[in-house]
Amino acid sequence: MRPMYIPGSALIFSVPACFLLCGCTAGQKTADFAPKLDGAYTAEAELEYGGGQTAAMSVTRYGKAQWEAAFTAPASLEGVVLQFDGNAVTASYKGLQFSVPKSALPAKNMLVLATDALDLAAETVPLPCTEQSDGTWRYAGESEAGGCTVTFSADGEPRSVEMPAQPFTLRFSSYTVIAPEVTGTAETSASAEAASAPETTVTA
């Protein structure tokens, strides 16, 4: 498994992405489960983190370690787009690239953890999961960053990623598969936009 790199933060450190299956609650059904993780998809999501902070966004996975988060709320982040490419994270606003603003750093760090957890789960499919009373399936793991739980709907769509020790919860309210040609177009467009946009530094 590839290591999980977390950019500098007062609360978060670089941690190896080693997730171990946690014990299951007695009486719950445990089975190998194949969620819809290995591919390109987009979803509406809400991130809850820190001391009750929240952010709404569209999250898109183009491939392994290739993600994008387009914020729609709060007002301080609306319109900001974060692009995750391997260990690099870049930000843009209305086509202009800039360094990630301080107001977005906590959300960015939580999203790095969440997207790494989803990528790692995609590499481990099928996952040993436990079926919950509401019909969802839960995968529980452990890392040096804390315990991590990924929950899926009965048909395999991601529903949430939680890491209480940080703390954060990323909840998905929709899931749409992106066709390969759409993925390629999005990546090409993003690259072209980045190449043509002037470098601008924004200080929060």
Q: Enumerate residue ranges in the chain where pLDDT < 50.
A: 1-26, 182-204
pTM of the model: 0.75
Alpha-carbon torsion 81, 50, 138, 141, what sign?
positive
Q: In the prediction, which pLDDT does 187 show?
A: 47
Name all domains of the chain by residue range, CATH numbers in brackets: 30-199 (2.50.20)
Cβ–Cβ < 8 Å for 139, 33: yes
Q: In the prediction, which pLDDT does 180 show?
A: 60
Nearest to 145 by CA among 50, 5, 37, 2: 5
- Residues 108-122: tens digit of each pLDDT: 999 999 999 999 889
Nearest to 92 by CA among 81, 106, 107, 103: 81
Under DSSP, the state recorded for 111 is: H
Q: In the prediction, which pLDDT does 58 show?
A: 98
- Residues 147-166: tens digit of each pLDDT: 999 999 999 999 999 999 99
